[in-house]
Structure 1
Amino acid sequence: MERRIKRVAVLGSGVMGSRIACHFANIGVEVLLLDIVPKELLPAEEKKGLTIENPLVRNRIVDGHLKSVVQSNPSPIFSKSVLKRIKTGNFEDNMKDIASADWIIEVVVERLDIKKQVFEQVEKYRKAGTLITSNTSGIPIHLMAEGRSDDFRKHFCGTHFFNPPRYLRLLEIIPTSETDSEVVSFLMHYGDKFLGKTTVLCKDTPAFIGNRIGVYAMLALTHLVEKFDLSVEEVDKFTGPILGRPKSATFRTADVVGLDTLVNVANGLYENAPSDEAKEVFKLPGYIQKMVDNKWLGEKSEQGFYKKIKDEAGKTEILALNLKTLEYSKQDKVKSATLEEAKAVEDLRQRMKVFDKGNDKAAELFRAANYPLFEYVSNRVPEISDELYRIDDAMRAGFGWELGPFEIWDALGVKDTVEKIEKAEVLLPGQQGKVASWVYEMLEGGNESFYRVEDGIKKFYDIKSKSYQIIPGSEDFIVLDNLREKHTIWKNSSISIIDLGDGILNVEIHSKMNTIGGDVLQGINKAIDLAEKEYRGLVIGNDGALFSAGANIGMIFMLAVEQDFDELNMAVKMFQDTSMRLRYSSIPVVLAPFNMTLGGGCEFSMHADFVQLHAETYMGLVEFGVGVIPGGGGSKEMAIRASDDFKEGAIEQAVLRDKFLTIGQAKVSTSGLEAFELGYLQAGKFAITMNRSRLLADAKAKALELADAGYTQPVQRNDIRVLGKQGLGIVYVGANSMMTGNYISEHDKLISERLGWVMCGGDLSEPTEVSEQYLLDLERKEFLSLVGTKKSLERIQFMLTKGKPLRN
């Protein structure tokens, strides 16, 4: 049967339930969110004369939970507009409404008896064939299905979303022995393509995969603190971004998650995994138990391994816990020769080798934590997963590791590391210093790595067949790492042009923060030249951490300080010309932005034929923060968007104000959807990809679609309506009143006036239709005039040195 999800019922509106509901609303699904009915009135309700039967009272719990979650930071919703898709209710009045749901997700309290009571009610109203899943992190899935009908059990399994579900990509699918294989296949695909998740098939074992390995890795570090006499801040420095892990590293992550949550999972594993050879690792060190007793649980109790205070000057300071004395003190600066050496190495896999070969505490901790981890994960196959790649997927998607355990092991060399594990002096409780037998068999068979790339496709070592197999589903992804070596046709220091096949080229920017300077502009123009001669289309996208932080302001600052305005004028014109080529070339150009897409990255997006963007794209024209206006065509584009809205019969001054303020307030979208709502994207010229791993493949498919449709080169516009003096009056009065009210500085006022000058087409006596080039020339002139001012240079310098905007 072809299954479609139009409506989802979420049972339980706590933090997790409400956030799951929000994420389904994000992707366009209608959601029914239910919870219990209050047992008594609140004083405020009594005062209003409400009764316990009033719908406002009966839905108070669910409405309160949803409101609280929507106001949380980071937000669980792409835009406020998605909330209209969520309808709230309660278990007594609205359980019957689940009959119209295509998928019912239970997210009530983690107690088996309560979950069974809920499922008993579900069976009264659920229509046959409806998916029914439980979002549990610890209760065995098969126990929940006991006593239920055959149809219920056939369509039931676990779906463990990681919190917060909008941002963490891991979705564990845990079937029982009775779950229909079609249901499992559907959930794996739906979670991947529509929810944007890395879906990992798990066995019904304690804590499944993500928490089983992730909590082991965290607790292993807590046991090693005393061994190496390490401080909280040292552990977090040695186990954070330098190793491709989140900034929160180890102890800060525990604070964010909540020490009580960590303890509950650890205790559950200790009790429910009796055959785990390393179960003693899940036994908490004494200092953690004391912290729990003191209710130092992390962020939720405002102190844990770290504590935020205000010093005598009122400045915020973050203290660290001394694990010996359990007192808080100022953080010490962490010093390490290995750390410093690793910082200079860009490639993460090579960085791992630096740590493995080092001689100080950072290196010792790396080996003492990772060698037992390698032993542990090897022993979990096939216990928790038949395929090793699922463990790596879970750690990357659920815990934010850039490399999973087997990938790290590969980077260090499997055979050499096995020998080092056997000779290791530091062992964690219950471990033998010997990896699982299948690893030795793999090596004896001449297979020296867990993964290999063949014909651009990544394969994993399959234990059953003792051969390398394609990772299921990965055929749908384009991974530049797998193509770069054999398919790069041109490159310079900042970009690589890679042949994606089927006549489509890809421009990969790989400068620092993917900033756009001369080399990037040269590379994009080279790619367009090549595509126009021999190919069918062009994609601009990458596999890095962000799309682009914008123009290379260091280069702009240097030229401005040296007063080399001729060179600067040429550089800005080259940027503008490149933006225009993205739109006015003879082949379709598709951009694939994600994460930070700022300044010039946003301007490129505004000019592309089509934008295939990730749902988590934070796009904006932020040039005001460095004292200038958008100079790569962004100011011109906003004037065009305003002009197009004028023609739809809108009030011209109001439209101009909105577009002007989008730039003037440096508004950055909090999602791909909001990038459209802010006017950076145009209807019909963008689409959102939920799964980041699919982004480049979707962009390539769009480029092919445009080419197959007979793409023809557009004609530059000369029908852009600008308001001239009529619009300038509004801009100048508004800027002056904002400065008078001390909302903006005098220099902000100047920048606002220069932006207004461009968007209004200059000092025209009446509304006039102008060309794109006319606006580009105005934009470039005003950009250069601002760059030459002392205060704009101060702003640029401050951003370069401090990484944040200066108001002067």
Structure 2
Amino acid sequence: MMAGIETVAVIGAGVMGAAIAAHIANAGTRVLLLDIVPDGATNRNALADGAVARMLKADPAPFMGRKAARLVETGNFEDNLGRLAEADWILEAVIERLDIKQALYAKIDAVRKPGSIVSSNTSTIPLATLVDGMPESFARDFLITHFFNPPRYMRLMELVTGPATRPDAAALVSDYCDRRLGKTVVVAKDTPSFIANRLGVYWLQKSVTEAVARGIPVEAADLLIGKPFGIPKTGVFGLLDLVGLDLMPHVNASLAAALPETDAFHDANRPLPVIETLIAEGYTGRKGRGGFYRLNRVGGAKVKEAVDLSTGAFAPARKPKLEAMSAAGRSPRKLMEHDSTEGRYAAEVMAATLAYAAGLAGEVADSIADIDEAMCLGYAWKEGPFALIDRIGPDWLADRLEAEGQTVPPILALARGRSFYRVENGRLEQLGLDGAYSPVSRPDGVLLLSDIKRATKPILKNGSAALWDIGDGVVCFEFTSKMNAMDDQIMALLGKTLRLVKQDYKALVIHNEGTSFSVGANLGLALFAANIAAWQQIEGLVALGQQTYQDLRNAPFPVVGAPSGMALGGGCEILLHCSAVQAHAETYMGLVEVGVGLIPGWGGCTEMLHRWQSFGKLPKGPMPAPAKVFEILSTATVAKSAAGAKELLFLRPEDGITMNRARLLADAKARALAMVEGYIPPEPRDYVLPGPAGLAAMDMAVQSFRKLGKATAYDEVVSGALAGILSGGDSDPIEVVGEKTLLKLERDRFAGLVRQPGTLARIETMLMTGKPLRN
């Protein structure tokens, strides 16, 4: 049998097949992408070649970098089918037609090497049907690997095996998808649409049919079936626009044909003329003219419009004020109990969806935690259905079902008077179909801060941060402020942490499980201080941040940053000062201060200069590194992946990348422990910078952009301050500039900008709209 998966072949260069191939390349694996030969094509590989070309231009990008694209080799079925013998794993992603798939499997089986694994990305055809009539040797090596779109970003992969599937084949693919592709692999049973789509499609269909029946506007429905239940702000109709309205009839028809007549899906699957009309007129969602929402030009301006579900006419979208939501606050149960049309709509949709989920326990998966995981990762719910029932109350839901004359699902009856989840001796446990609780298991090598927090108390804590013991002499510093924004409390606790680790521990990891690692400094506090002219307070925070980050960099023990999501501004700067970084692959780093009229003031300019002088493949001399850093910082460039962060040197060449977010903390801890023995902090840095001549060159570059309309008047002001730092001020090109001089230049330029009305206008606009002001 194979020792591992080193080469993969993907058959089918459509949207999913090509994107799966791209993500396999992101993992550093060589991949062969094949499709049919188009009629009359001069390029016989046109379909696969075209797919790669489109993905290189796509946004969001399927590739994490152009280096990954070079690992994809294209071909076609007719000329290159024999090359499937090279593949350890052959992944089929062709049209959802059984006859086409089975004809393809026969061709694959004739050329593949013994023991190679074959899988289908199907979401609608059962495994038993796919392998029916195929040789037993093929069935042993066959399974379903159901990825979610887009494959790079969606963390869920549903794995389905059959009675004949080799356990070692399933284990090998599962481990590869987990460690190399970064997926959370959920084992699903061979039932129609598996887990996430079985429940998710029912939820969407129920939401739409009830909105039509009850006269609920799409904007109101998306608010109601959104934030109160921990569902993304796209809600229902926004989500359908995103995935495509034209997919809905096909998916519904497939489920309706596969499910027994007793399944509740059939009651929700009613004809919806408004959707048929929208599709017929080209309103297929964001990929078409629009969908339930569209952007329309009115008087030269773009106006967001929403469809009226009763008439099919569009009108300007509005955010309705709903009494039910105001009365409910953050309580989903209060919303469902509210005596109003909106409250009854939310109750009908979500009670039915949660009851449907409870009825699927044991049918689609053996574990309620797996069902919850599938909905969290497949549909971006903040909580899975069973965790949500716990928040609403199992008894309340069971009583409601009984009052309506409906059957209470067995597992919901078992949860009465109890809960689906509990914490016992610091461990999270889940309720099983046998009525007993069992631990929610984690794969080997997974360490979650949330599990640590259930079992222990923080070593240190304040309103914006906490310190946790994660074992083996390593502690984890966690930001807890809103959006993990940096403030004086974080700096104060980090200072205490550095002193404590020096005395009692071996190493420090900086990590949190928020959506963003850190969005940067707390701009609200900065604006408040500026509005009351508390300049000394602002300058004091800049000095405190600089000193804290310098202390972190110079600590006599390893400090490993472990970011995921956005690491912007001050959140990027703290990582620049760590001994090493172990980043999740989906880390988006950047020093974006110019967007709010400021410059990096906590050592970011200084550190980036050091990196481009030390690691950047640039010509020799004092000007190339400052010019490159000026280009990156003046345009507020953000790396769109950890691989991209390495190209921009926000990450060093030796920094690590973890594909699976759940493994990030464990990897960072291991990295820190490996650095402990013989650790020596870095030496102070010296720089040779271009001085006034370099400043003039950077100013001229900005002026040329201004003439082209690519820079504004205030961009010149901010960029001028940035150039003043990166050029070394008045230093002579033959002089050595110490880092203390550069840090003082950062503080001085920051202090000058924060007093400017143009900067305050940019900060205020960013806080109010989330978008930069181009003043």
Which TM bucket (shorter chain)? over 0.9
Identify if the C-alpha distance between structure 1 residues 635 and 484 changes in structure 2 by more than 3 Å, giving closer, same or farther.
Answer: farther
**Normalising by the residue count of structure 1, what TM-score does the alignment of the two structures yield?**
0.92
Find the partner of 1:508 among 478, 482, 497. 478
1:572 Cα deviation (Å)?
Answer: 0.5
Q: Deviations over 1:566-591 (max 9, x none)?
A: 32221100011111122111222111
Give the distance between the partners of 1:269 and 1:727, measured in 2 at CA: 66
Counterpart contact for 1:625–1:795, Cα < 8 Å: yes
Counterpart contact for 1:645–1:655, Cα < 8 Å: no
Find the partner of 1:63 among 33, 49, 67. 49
Give the distance between the partners of 2:410 and 2:536, measured in 1 at CA: 68
Find the partner of 2:759 among 763, 769, 792. 792
Alignment of 1:139-218 (within 5 A): 139-218=125-204
Give the distance between the partners of 1:575 and 1:140, measured in 2 at CA: 57
Identity of aligned residues (%): 36
Q: Which residue of 1 aligns with 2:554?
A: 584
Q: Which amino acid aligns with 2:423?
A: V
Q: Secondary structure at the match of 1:488?
A: coil
Q: Which residue of 2 aligns with 1:523?
A: 493
1:715 Cα deviation (Å)?
Answer: 4.2
Q: Which residue of 2 aligns with 1:711?
A: 679
1:117 Cα deviation (Å)?
Answer: 1.4
* Mapped pair 1:761 → 2:760: no
Give the distance between the partners of 2:748 and 2:612, measured in 1 at CA: 21
1:631 Cα deviation (Å)?
Answer: 0.3
Counterpart contact for 1:269–1:282, Cα < 8 Å: no
Alignment of 1:612-623 (within 5 A): 612-623=582-593
Give the distance between the partners of 2:618 and 2:322, measured in 1 at CA: 62
Counterpart contact for 1:639–1:722, Cα < 8 Å: no
1:271 Cα deviation (Å)?
Answer: 1.1
Q: Which residue of 1 aligns with 2:289?
A: 302
Counterpart contact for 2:32–2:72, Cα < 8 Å: yes
Give the distance between the partners of 2:87 and 2:20, measured in 1 at CA: 15
Find the partner of 2:460 among 490, 494, 498. 490
Q: Which residue of 2 aligns with 1:416?
A: 396
Identify if the C-alpha distance between structure 1 residues 718 and 37 changes in structure 2 by more than 3 Å, giving closer, same or farther.
Answer: closer
1:315 Cα deviation (Å)?
Answer: 1.1
Q: Deviations over 1:687-728 (max 9, x none)?
A: 111122222222222222222x3433x144143222223422
Q: Which amino acid aligns with 1:8?
A: V
Counterpart contact for 1:338–1:358, Cα < 8 Å: yes
Counterpart contact for 2:369–2:440, Cα < 8 Å: no
Structure 2 gaps, min length 5: none
1:392 Cα deviation (Å)?
Answer: 0.9
Find the partner of 2:449 among 452, 470, 479. 479
Q: Which residue of 1 aligns with 2:40?
A: 40
Identify if the C-alpha distance between structure 1 residues 681 and 255 changes in structure 2 by more than 3 Å, giving closer, same or farther.
Answer: same
Counterpart contact for 2:52–2:69, Cα < 8 Å: no
- How many residues are paired up? 774
* Mapped pair 1:102 → 2:88: yes
Give the distance between the partners of 1:438 and 1:699, measured in 2 at CA: 39
1:729 Cα deviation (Å)?
Answer: 3.4
Identify if the C-alpha distance between structure 1 residues 742 and 648 changes in structure 2 by more than 3 Å, giving closer, same or farther.
Answer: closer
* Mapped pair 1:231 → 2:217: yes
1:605 Cα deviation (Å)?
Answer: 0.9
Give the distance between the partners of 2:96 and 2:546, measured in 1 at CA: 57
1:413 Cα deviation (Å)?
Answer: 2.4
Structure 1 gaps, min length 5: 42-51, 346-350, 425-431
Q: Which runs of 4+ in 1 moved over 6 A?
A: none
Q: Deviations over 1:262-299 (max 9, x none)?
A: 22111111111125431323523333344444453222
Say which is worse superposed, 58-67 or 363-372, in terms of deviation: 363-372
Find the partner of 1:393 among 358, 365, 373. 373
1:475 Cα deviation (Å)?
Answer: 7.0
Q: Secondary structure at the match of 2:674?
A: helix
Give the distance between the partners of 1:497 and 1:718, measured in 2 at CA: 30
Q: Secondary structure at the match of 1:630?
A: coil
What is the aligned-residue RMSD (CA, Å)?
2.2
Say which is worse superposed, 218-227 or 405-414, in terms of deviation: 218-227
1:418 Cα deviation (Å)?
Answer: 1.7
Q: Deviations over 1:466-502 (max 9, x none)?
A: 3323325277231326615732122211112222222
Q: Which amino acid aligns with 1:487?
A: K
Q: Secondary structure at the match of 1:493?
A: coil
Say which is worse superposed, 153-162 or 61-70, in terms of deviation: 61-70
Q: Which amino acid aligns with 2:725?
A: V
Q: Which amino acid aligns with 1:20?
A: I
Alignment of 1:739-750 (within 5 A): 739-750=706-717
1:352 Cα deviation (Å)?
Answer: 2.9
Find the partner of 1:692 among 661, 671, 678. 661
Counterpart contact for 1:719–1:770, Cα < 8 Å: yes
Give the distance between the partners of 2:455 and 2:136, measured in 1 at CA: 52
Q: Which amino acid aligns with 2:499?
A: D
Identify if the C-alpha distance between structure 1 residues 485 and 385 changes in structure 2 by more than 3 Å, giving closer, same or farther.
Answer: closer
Q: Secondary structure at the match of 2:710?
A: coil
Find the partner of 1:435 among 391, 395, 408. 408
Q: Which residue of 2 aligns with 1:45?
A: none
Give the distance between the partners of 2:266 and 2:454, measured in 1 at CA: 44
Q: Deviations over 1:3-31 (max 9, x none)?
A: 32211100010111110110011111111
Find the partner of 1:404 among 362, 370, 384. 384
Identify if the C-alpha distance between structure 1 residues 766 and 289 changes in structure 2 by more than 3 Å, giving closer, same or farther.
Answer: closer
1:652 Cα deviation (Å)?
Answer: 4.6
1:261 Cα deviation (Å)?
Answer: 1.2
Identify if the C-alpha distance between structure 1 residues 530 and 82 changes in structure 2 by more than 3 Å, giving closer, same or farther.
Answer: same
1:197 Cα deviation (Å)?
Answer: 1.1
Q: Secondary structure at the match of 2:150?
A: coil
Counterpart contact for 1:595–1:618, Cα < 8 Å: yes
**Normalising by the residue count of structure 2, what TM-score does the alignment of the two structures yield?**
0.95
Identify if the C-alpha distance between structure 1 residues 78 and 323 changes in structure 2 by more than 3 Å, giving closer, same or farther.
Answer: same
Counterpart contact for 2:337–2:347, Cα < 8 Å: no
1:651 Cα deviation (Å)?
Answer: 5.5
Q: Which residue of 1 aligns with 2:103?
A: 117
Q: Deviations over 1:70-101 (max 9, x none)?
A: 32221111112211101101111111111111
Say which is worse superposed, 465-474 or 495-504, in terms of deviation: 465-474
Give the distance between the partners of 1:417 and 1:315, measured in 2 at CA: 47
Identify if the C-alpha distance between structure 1 residues 464 and 484 changes in structure 2 by more than 3 Å, giving closer, same or farther.
Answer: closer
Give the distance between the partners of 2:295 and 2:764, measured in 1 at CA: 30
